[in-house]
Amino acid sequence: MLKIKVVNFGLALIVSLFFQVALMEVTVKFFPRFKENSVTGYSSDIVDPSLSRLNSVDKFIGFCDSVFGKEIKSHSDSAQYANLVSKVIRYRFQHGYSWYRFGHNYVAKLIAPMLNKNLSAIVVPDDILEYETAACSQQSIVGMKVLMEKGYLVRAVGFYDTLIGGHFCYEIKFNGDWHFYDPNREPDEELLDKYNRPSIKELNENKELLVAAYPNDKKENVLALYSTYKYGKERKLPGANARLFQRITQILSYTLWIFLAILYLYLDKRFFSKKTK
């Protein structure tokens, strides 16, 4: 009898625990001030704290539209709006990965280490915008999503050097050509615009311009890293599988306690209630 009561109590405790965690998820969703601080960015980052209010893709687009002040009608408009999006990203985020954590998709936080720890690195655009920090891939995902919503043709550009590591950017097609954007490492925008914002392929064909565009980086590192470029698919955000995983686990973070409660009621009725009579 005592053993049955202990098991019954344990199941009830588990259901209660998951309910409380789900409640915390809801609290963080609607009251962001309760959210844990995300990873600290580099001290050299120039960030405008007022832009933290842009915590969704819709708000980000609304802000850019309000600053731009007109519809995108001409080729020059296309370039100006794309530059604006890149600039807002630069001032919106500090550099550093944002990961799901308890209080924001706890199921992903728990399951990811058993599958692939990188699955808890956020790739859902709206979720990325809920944090103050974002890595190069996360910033690019936001930029690409915003531009896709505005009708631009975009593609991801990835880099990997065995000594330096990886990097992530994107290109936009307008005026019949592809144009390279790197909001995370913050190249010399004025210089690139002077040369009509070349593609990464064109930058690699003009090594002097490529090096000059990154005055804060060592020449050998710039040449080594940016020569390894690979294109992603057009009109496709990177991390599709991870994004599916994160959307499913986000739903489970709100609802898992319901399934556990149903399981508890079934087990209680099927096994425990009869034995206690």
Task: Tell whether 56 is covered by a domain.
Answer: no
More confident residue, 257 or 38: 257
The Cα 271–Cα 182 span in angstroms is 60
Per residue in 38-79, pLDDT tens? 333 344 467 899 999 999 999 999 999 999 987 766 656 788
pLDDT class of 258 with cuts at 50, 70, 90 = confident
The Cα 110–Cα 170 span in angstroms is 31
Task: Tell whether 14 is covered by a domain.
Answer: no
The percentage of residues in the chain with a pLDDT greater than 70, rounded to a whole number, is: 78
pLDDT at position 31 over 70: no
218: containing domain? 153-234
Q: Which residues contact 231 (CB under 8 A, 6 or more apart)?
A: 155, 156, 157, 171
Contact 132, 50 (CB under 8 A): no
Task: Tell whether 86 is covered by a domain.
Answer: no
Helix, strand, coil fractions of the chain, as percent rounded to 5: 60, 15, 30
Enclosing H/E stretch for 174? strand 165-174
pLDDT on residue 266: 74
pLDDT class of 255 with cuts at 50, 70, 90 = confident
pLDDT at position 242 over 70: yes
Predicted structure pTM score = 0.80
Mean of pLDDT over the chain: 83
User: By mean pLDDT, which of 11-15, 123-127, 175-179 is the weakest?
Assistant: 11-15
In this structure, the number of other CB atoms found within 10 A of the CB of residue 173 comes to 16
pLDDT at position 86 over 80: yes
Tokens of 38: 């995300």
More confident residue, 275 or 236: 236
Nearest to 123 by CA among 4, 14, 248, 241: 241
pLDDT on residue 36: 40
Average pLDDT of span 204-224: 96
Tokens of 186: 């913050």
pLDDT on residue 238: 92
| Phi, psi for 101 (deg, rounded to 5) | -150, 175
Sign of CA dihedral 143, 235, 188, 75: negative
pLDDT at position 121 over 60: yes
pLDDT on residue 106: 81
pLDDT at position 127 over 90: yes
Contact 268, 11 (CB under 8 A): yes
Task: Tell whether 196 is covered by a domain.
Answer: yes
Contact 129, 142 (CB under 8 A): yes
Tokens of 33: 């001030």
pLDDT at position 276 over 60: no
* Cα angle, residue 192 at apex, residues 211 and 48 outer, rounded to 5°: 100
Task: Tell whether 199 is covered by a domain.
Answer: yes
pLDDT class of 25 with cuts at 50, 70, 90 = low
Nearest to 56 by CA among 124, 137, 154: 124
pLDDT at position 88 over 60: yes
Q: How many domains does the chain have?
A: 1
Give the total residue count for the chain. 277
The helix/strand/coil state of 188 is: coil
pLDDT on residue 169: 97
pLDDT at position 269 over 80: no
pLDDT on residue 272: 61
Q: Spell out a b/e string for 181-194, using b for 16 or more CB atoms within 10 Å of the CB, else e.
A: bbbbbbbebeebee
pLDDT on residue 55: 95
pLDDT at position 246 over 60: yes
